[in-house]
Structure 1
Amino acid sequence: MAMTHYQQATKRTELPSMGVEGSNAFLADLAISEDPDKTIVGGFFRMEKSDKPLVYTYTYHEMKIIVEGEMIISDETGQEVHARAGDVFYFPKGSVITFQSPSVGLGFFCGQRREGEA
Structure 2
Amino acid sequence: MVFEIVESEGIENFNEVTEFIKEVKKYGSKIAIDDFGTGYSNFNYLMKLNVDYIKIDGSIIKNVHKDKSAEIVTKTIVLFAKELGIETIAEFVSEEEIYNKIKDLNVDYSQGYYFSEPKENIG
Structure with larger RCO (C-alpha < 8 A, sep 6+): 1
More strand by share: 1
Q: TM-score, normalised by structure 2?
A: 0.26
Q: TM-score, normalised by structure 1?
A: 0.27
More helix by share: 2
